[in-house]
Structure 1
């Protein structure tokens, strides 16, 4: 008698597979909620097989439930750790979660187990770059390109990493090679734009920068007027609207005077904290934060599209200062801050404003990771407090303010009751120098024509170029750059030396003054 064959897939396993298929079908039909319910049913029936856990993790990854995906990829690896494909997917979901150390560990394991797979090396290079380990990232992406020379993702990563290494001209070459395969790839075109701008190729870079509308920005659809593409503005009204961060608007509001010079009536829409400051900019007719229903325009243009429309060719644009605050506010707020901070009036201390943290923007994962590289801990800045004759004033906003209490460093609080950027600007007149990381207050001080020392991460923003201590954007700014990613200690040492020299001059001037 012939024995009956055993079903290799028992009923529970078949039901598990059925729920997975149902989840895919429901999701394809646009029924995401029902699809997730099917996955939850599948969880209950999960067979004790690594392949099943991997499939379930893959569907949770598809639905962007990163934590759930990581759990089931982890289950798959418990019984079968030699699985580079699973390690790779685990690394990717950790990357999406923002868990960079965990992503690094998983992708390193994938590359270790399957060094011949270029995709693993490419994705590992991406994680390394987000951690600021750019030289290592470049080595990995070169390995990937050796294995697959025309890989579009590896070419794009190479461009990004070279740009972060301040080798932007080389980066453009890799972006160009990637675009031979997909000439309209928006992410690559936008990466190429920032590389061109960082390399100083402004005219072409600004034209390329318009690709952001297809890669990372949403075009406004609530304005009836057409987008301004360079048409004659004589006698026309144009709305210029805030688009990205506060710093971008503070940086490029200077260009509205060029629109006014063409005969335009310029209306500006910005967030509330910028309104009062923008009202005083030359060429601005009126400002609002919420667009009134009765407003009508002939054209509109996003703030960061003005350079392309105006054919900007350099970073020397118009007179500085182009921002201002009322004299009475300078007296009321700036002088009040100085009187609190100056110490002995007969021999006043030199007053330095300090900002050590940017906005982490937790809603934007990439921005959060960049902020970790651009921000400094207040503890790291402690050596500055050893320079004799300086009183420090905190202009720090947000969560990093708690570091003042933690460190116990002697800082005068300069932000109490600040309502907007005009208040901040008025108080900046109460200090002799601002030292800040690359955040919006650097643009505020620069636009006001006030002395500012900016501490820049190694992979500096495109607007600061690749090297040098000066920038055409702001004649009163001095840039202190990291020579190596993550190394703020050497930057602080350099700033300390500069402060010591500055204080020698300051005390010499005090000694020579007849009033001393």
Structure 2
């Protein structure tokens, strides 16, 4: 869930509204507004060569050079324009944005602080400076700044939404709700207030109240993508898959999701006999693996299915039922010829989806040849071989979603406590920089990362294990899709339609879900350790439950 619509990014300059009565300057500005950056640079330099010293020339040329990739030079020119007009608030903000974009965040923050000294807690400065503080982890400063600016400008709903997002990300959900209710009293029926209240109520577990606020936000602003996209997650939590995936289509208009520009019509269920369907990639690795189950029903439609994949998923998903071939993520805009196209996560809308299908679909990814005992180097006396992941990829973007997504990870030290279980051998399925944390540690965890060159190899490692214990990351979806026993640790405050509110998830019935409470990660790991000891002793089954023997309800 995303709580607030994106504010102007603190790492991209935004065009500045500058008034001028000079025709040449207006032409240069028109070129800038039309994103004709090379033309704008040429016009600015020509005017400067004729003796024109207007500070807007430095600004427009700087913005154009920045957008053309000459970011350092562009930032310097924007700064020069700002120095010549120190009281120009918007120019100051753009200068700070460009500094942040080239990695000079301390300098960017200093520029904004000087702006506060000149302009007071101006809401536009406060908004961007708070984002910058949040980006570098100084959340307390961000919150204090927002509080002072809201006190001066209580009608600025965007500031209230930002502060509520900061509070909610620290699990101060009740305080955030109170803030937004006060904002509602002061500002009335504003879509952003209802949208934020909806996310907050959903985070607190009050899904029905969340749906009410989402729908009110949509009534007030029916064309805003964010309330629709967030409403989809609440409906999916309620297992209302038809309406949930209908609302989920708004994600493609939100700017947060990749929308592949394929020169082919969108598939909406037409006959595929003799046709080629290109299913395009979107969102993350876990989302791709989760929704790969909807490829199998395409098998009976008579067409050829090409699946575009994030790099590393190609070999794994090439074996999925319903897929004829896979291609790597297209970055140059050149897609293979096809008759129709559809984003992967849109397949449930066309094919249909219900709980019976989800529960019956697992396993839907074939198990590759497992790593050998020699590769796993299992010592004698081991009763369980257990794979671990403790960290998901770092998230970016809007404050609330970024901070809540980053809460999904625990520390290696916390996960390593599972080594206290006797008769258990631990193997790390972690990849990337996080896997390097194992180096030089005393933890009895075998690092498999050198063998995990892609998801097919990760699947081979999982196939050789008895159990996977993981935080909410792509490994959870991979083990679930293979039908492997998997225990998924959900962080305190984590609300996600995939894992729902129940003891089990219909997406992966065999998965045990461990939900964090007031004891935080420490209490969560203790609970998992107790169950792991019981499983190693043979007194607790590895799987949460057998799959429900339900028939497929997706349209084949």
- Unmatched segments (≥5 aa) in structure 2: 1-15, 33-39, 41-59, 64-73, 543-556
Structure 2 vs 1, CA of residues 306 and 119 (structure 1 numbering), >3 Å: closer, same or farther? Answer: closer
Cα-to-partner distance string for 1:55-111 (whole Å, 9 max, x where unaligned): 543444677957465323311444786767754553245456775443223113334
- Worse-matched range after superposition: 290-299 or 305-314: 290-299
CA distance in 2, matches of 1:293, 1:123: 39
Counterpart mapping for 1:402-481 below 5 A: 402-405=436-439, 407-460=441-494, 462-481=496-515
Q: How many Å separate the matches in 1 of 2:395 and 2:161?
A: 27
Q: Please point out which of 478, 483, 493 is paired with 2:526.
A: 493
SS at match of 2:446: strand
| Distance (Å, rounded) in 1 between the aligned partners of 2:127 and 2:465 | 52
Find the aligned partners of 1:201 and 1:290 in 2 and give their Cα distance: 31
Point out the more displaced range, 93-102 or 104-113.
93-102
Distance in 2 (alpha carbons) for counterparts of 1:117 and 1:294? 44
Aligned-partner SS, 2:439: helix
Where 1:416 maps in the other structure, the secondary structure is helix
More off after superposition, 315-324 vs 242-251: 315-324
Say whether 1:57 aligns with 2:92.
yes
Using the TM superposition, give the Cα deviation of residue 407 of structure 1 relative to its aligned residue in structure 2, in angstroms. 4.6
Q: CA separation in 2, counterparts of 1:116 and 1:319?
A: 50
Q: Which moved more, 1:361-370 or 1:101-110?
A: 361-370
Aligned residue for 2:548? Answer: none
Deviation at 1:160, TM superposition (A): 1.5
- Which of 193, 196, 201 is matched with 1:162 structurally? 201
> For the Cα contact (< 8 Å) 1:238–1:298, is it kept in 2?
yes
Report how far residue 256 of structure 1 moved. Answer: 1.3
Taking a change above 3 Å as real, the CA distance of residues 86 and 272 of structure 1, as seen in their structure-2 partners, is closer
Structure 2 residue aligned with 1:308, among 338, 349, 354?
Answer: 349
Which residue is equivalent to 2:409? 375
Aligned counterparts of 1:473 and 1:358: Cα–Cα separation in 2: 19
- How many equivalent pairs are there? 478
Q: Out of 176, 183, 192, which is 1:144 matched to? A: 183
Once the two structures are superposed, the pairs formed by residues 155-304 of structure 1 within 5 Å of their partners are 155-215=194-254, 216-221=256-261, 223-289=262-328, 295-304=336-345
Match of 1:335 in 2: 373
In the superposition, relative to structure 1, how do residues 93 and 53 fare at CA in structure 2: closer, same or farther (>3 Å)?
Answer: farther
User: Could you tell me the TM-score, scaled by structure 1's length?
Assistant: 0.82
TM-aligned CA deviation for residue 444 of structure 1? 0.8
1:296 to 1:78, Cα distance in 2 relative to 1, 3 A: closer
Residue 313 of structure 2 aligns to a residue in which SS?
helix
Q: RMSD value over aligned CA atoms? A: 3.4
3-state DSSP of counterpart to 1:393: strand
1:472-501 deviations in Å (ceiling 9; x for gaps): 1112211111235x9212211211221122
